[in-house]
C-alpha cells in the first residue's frame, strides 16, 4: 500500500476518533490543517474537507453537518460532529413547538406511540413540549401511522438494519414469506417506502428486476454473501418511480396509461375538483349535466386501480380504455358466480 494511501487512512481514523470524543471539526481549522498536512492554506483546507466528506459519506447516519460561526471573520462554515441524542432531539421538538399551529399533530402521534420519548430531555424543553401536548389533548385520533407497523421487536430490528442498508447503498439477503417461503439473495436496498399503511423496501436483484417487499413479510435480514455496496446511480435510475408511485402495485419504470372514469351524482361530491384526490395522478375533467363527474387516473397495470374501482361499485363507470372495462366486467362476473 502506498505511503499516500496509508497517510489518508491514518488521518481519517484519527479524525473519526476526534468526532467520537465529541469534538466539532471543520476544514478551515488551521490547527487541524497544520496537524494533518504540516501546512495551512487552501490546499490543506481542501484536503481536510475531502477527509471529512469521506467520513460523512460513510457514516452520515451518525455524523451531522451544521453551519456554525467559528471565529472566521464572523462567517459560518460547515462543522462536522457526531449526533447527540438529547441535543438533536430537543432541536427537532423545539421546531415543532414553534410551529405548533401546523405540526402539533406530529407531537401527539409520537407521544401516543411512545410516551417515554420525553424522559431524556432537559426539564425546560420537557415542560414546553408537555404544555403543547396538553393544549391539544383530545383533539386528534390516529387510526394509522408508521409507528404501528414497528411494534414487534423483530420488525424494529429489521427496520433499523434496512435503514442502514439504504443509507449506505448496501446489499442484503432477505428471508421472505408471503404466499411461500423464499430466500432472496443479493438485493440492492434502494429505498424504504411507506404506502398503503405499510412499510416496504424497494429492491433490485442481480438480474435488475425491481420489487417492493413488505416489511411485515420479512423474517430475517442478512448481509449478502458476496456483495457489499452498489453505486448510487441504481437509486437514481428509479427516481421517477419514487416520485410517481401510487400504491404497492405500481410497476417501476413502466409507461403510464390513462383511464377515464365517471362518478355518479350519488358519490360526485368525493370527486369534485376541490377534493383531495385518491391517486397522485388523478385529474378532474368535468361536471356533467346530471351532476356526475368525469375524471382521469394514470396507471401502470390494471391491478393498480381496479380494487379502487370495485370499492365504489356500482357508482363508478369506466369510460375508457375498453381493455380495462373488459377486465373489470370479467372480475365482476366471477364475483357474482362465486356468490351464487
Domains, the chain, ranges and CATH? 3-82 (1.10.10), 86-142 (no CATH), 149-244 (2.30.30.100), 257-339 (3.30.70)
Q: What is the mean pLDDT of residues 321-327?
A: 96
Comparing 68 with 189, the larger pLDDT belongs to: 189
1 has pLDDT over 50: no
pLDDT bracket for residue 277 (50, 70, 90): very high
- The phi, psi pair for 326, rounded to 5°, reads -65, -40
Question: Given pLDDT bands bounded at 50, 70 and 90, which one contains residue 223?
Answer: very high
Mean pLDDT taken over the chain: 85
- The three three-digit cell numbers of residue 176, written as one number: 421472505
Q: pLDDT tens for residues 227-261?
A: 888 988 899 999 889 988 999 999 998 999 999 99
Cβ pair 148, 113 in contact under 8 A? yes
- Predicted confidence at residue 156, as pLDDT, reads 84
pLDDT in tens, 187-220: 999 999 988 888 999 999 999 999 999 999 999 9
pLDDT (0 to 100) of residue 10: 83
40 or 90: whose pLDDT is higher? 40
**What is the pTM (predicted TM-score) of this model?**
0.65
Residue 45, CB-side half-sphere exposure with 13 Å CA sphere? 9
Confidence of residue 328 (pLDDT cuts 50, 70, 90): very high
- Please give the C-alpha separations between residue 19 and each of 46, 63, 279, in angstroms, as whole numbers: 19, 8, 45
Spell out a b/e string for 278-299, using b for 16 or more CB atoms within 10 Å of the CB, else e. ebebbeeeeeeeeebbbbbbbb
d(CA 253, CA 305): 17
Q: Angle CA(69)–CA(72)–CA(76) in degrees, nearest 5?
A: 35
pLDDT digits (tens, 9 = 90+) for 110-164: 777 777 767 766 677 778 778 877 877 777 776 666 665 666 778 888 998 998 8
Amino acid at each position: 500500500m502506498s505511503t499516500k494511501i496509508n497517510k489518508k487512512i491514518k488521518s481519517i481514523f484519527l479524525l473519526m476518533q476526534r468526532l467520537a470524543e465529541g469534538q466539532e471539526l471543520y476544514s478551515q481549522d488551521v490547527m487541524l490543517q497544520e496537524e494533518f498536512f504540516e501546512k495551512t492554506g487552501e490546499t490543506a483546507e481542501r484536503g481536510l474537507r475531502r477527509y471529512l466528506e469521506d467520513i460523512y459519506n460513510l457514516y452520515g447516519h451518525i455524523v451531522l453537518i451544521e453551519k456554525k460561526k467559528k471565529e472566521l471573520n464572523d462567517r459560518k462554515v460547515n462543522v462536522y460532529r457526531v449526533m447527540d441524542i438529547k441535543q438533536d432531539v430537543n432541536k427537532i421538538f423545539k421546531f415543532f413547538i414553534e410551529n405548533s399551529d401546523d405540526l402539533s399533530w406530529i407531537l401527539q402521534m409520537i407521544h401516543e406511540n411512545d410516551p417515554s420519548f420525553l424522559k431524556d430531555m432537559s426539564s425546560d424543553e420537557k415542560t414546553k413540549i408537555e404544555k403543547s401536548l396538553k393544549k391539544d389533548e383530545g383533539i386528534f385520533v390516529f387510526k394509522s401511522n408508521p409507528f404501528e407497523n414497528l411494534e414487534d421487536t423483530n420488525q424494529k430490528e429489521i427496520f433499523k438494519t434496512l435503514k442502514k442498508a439504504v443509507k449506505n447503498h448496501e446489499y442484503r439477503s432477505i428471508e421472505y414469506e408471503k404466499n411461500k417461503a423464499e430466500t432472496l439473495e443479493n438485493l440492492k436496498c434502494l429505498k424504504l417506502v411507506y404506502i398503503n399503511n405499510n412499510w416496504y423496501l424497494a429492491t433490485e436483484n442481480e438480474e435488475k428486476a425491481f420489487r417492493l417487499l413488505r416489511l411485515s413479510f420479512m423474517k430475517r435480514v442478512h448481509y449478502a454473501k458476496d456483495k457489499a455496496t452498489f453505486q448510487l446511480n441504481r437509486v437514481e435510475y428509479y427516481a421517477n418511480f419514487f416520485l410517481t408511485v401510487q400504491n404497492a402495485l405500481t410497476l417501476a419504470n413502466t409507461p403510464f396509461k390513462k383511464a377515464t372514469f365517471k362518478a355518479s351524482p350519488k358519490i360526485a361530491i368525493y370527486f369534485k375538483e376541490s377534493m383531495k384526490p385518491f391517486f397522485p395522478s388523478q385529474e378532474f375533467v368535468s361536471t356533467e349535466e346530471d351532476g356526475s363527474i368525469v375524471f382521469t387516473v394514470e396507471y401502470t397495470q390494471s391491478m393498480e386501480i381496479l380494487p379502487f374501482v370495485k370499492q365504489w361499485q356500482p357508482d363508478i363507470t369506466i369510460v375508457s380504455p375498453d381493455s380495462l372495462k373488459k377486465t373489470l366486467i370479467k372480475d365482476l362476473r366471477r364475483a357474482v358466480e362465486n356468490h351464487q
